[in-house]
Amino acid sequence: MPRTQTSKAAPSDVFDTVRDYLKRADYRPGQALPAGLIAHRLALTPKDVDLALTQLASSRHLIHKTSPYGPAFYIPDTGQPAH
């Protein structure tokens, strides 16, 4: 049976970690963010990353929309890096 990953980081720490990662990552405007891969790279749970991405979308730093492939978070096409 696979082991479930748990996170003991505070929500604000997770938010800051994800936001800082997106600032230095090379995602292009309009590109969907691979939430599961981001979670793996940052050693966080997918649920924690999803919550952080939701907060970033709420503050208009990301876009949450449904594509033909399902719902996802996207880097906004503003000419500015998402942060």
Whether residue 82 is predicted with pLDDT greater than 60 in this model: the reply is no
19: three-class secondary structure by DSSP: helix
Query: Cβ of 56: how many Cβ atoms within 10 Å?
Result: 21
pTM assigned to the model: 0.79
Q: What is the pLDDT of residues 7-66, one digit of tens each?
A: 566 778 999 999 999 999 999 999 999 999 999 999 999 999 999 999 999 999 999 999
Whether residue 81 is predicted with pLDDT greater than 80 in this model: the reply is no
Side-chain half-sphere of 32: how many Cα atoms within 13 Å?
12
